[in-house]
Amino acid sequence: QVQLVESGGGLVQAGGSLRLSCAASGSMSSFNVMGWYQQAVMGWYRQAPGEQRELVANIAPGGSRKYAESVKGRFTISRDNANNMLYLQMNSLKPEDTAVYFCTGNRVFDKTYWGQGTQVTVFS
């Protein structure tokens, strides 16, 4: 099993920045978790109150990235394959970015793992 743990959420004024982190670990040996991570598409989703969960950004093992239109030019997703870490740099934050942000990861033909989420609140 893989465990994903997010950190870095918080309260920030509109126009500010936050950096979310996600650490992958698990009950498998360190080698297996690293192997899983290096093959996994990693991503960030978010869910605002009363809204459906939506994709914010994802990044493939080779580094190709996909972003939601609403965050393009403001958010940057990155990964550190040597340390099983995923990041989301969020700049120019807006109140509508307020949500719980979830880290996800999956390999082809494998289950999708989710973190427990970290709250981001942007006030104007």
Q: Tens digit of pLDDT per residue, the chain (124 long)? A: 899 999 999 999 999 999 999 999 987 665 588 889 999 999 999 999 999 999 999 999 999 999 999 999 999 999 999 999 999 999 999 999 999 999 999 998 889 999 999 999 999 9
- Say what the pLDDT of residue 26 is: 86
Res 29: pLDDT: 60
Q: What are phi and psi of 87, to 5 degrees?
A: -130, 155
Give the per-residue pLDDT at 39.
94
User: Please, which residues have CB within 8 angstroms of residue 104's CB and are 6 or more apart in sequence?
Assistant: 4, 42, 43, 44, 45, 58, 112, 113, 114, 115
Among residues 115, 92, 113, which one has the least CA distance to residue 21?
115
38: which residues sit within 8 A by CB, 6+ positions away? 61, 81
State CA 80 to chain mean position distance. 13
Q: What is the pLDDT of residue 116?
A: 97
What is the pLDDT, as a whole number, of residue 31?
A: 52
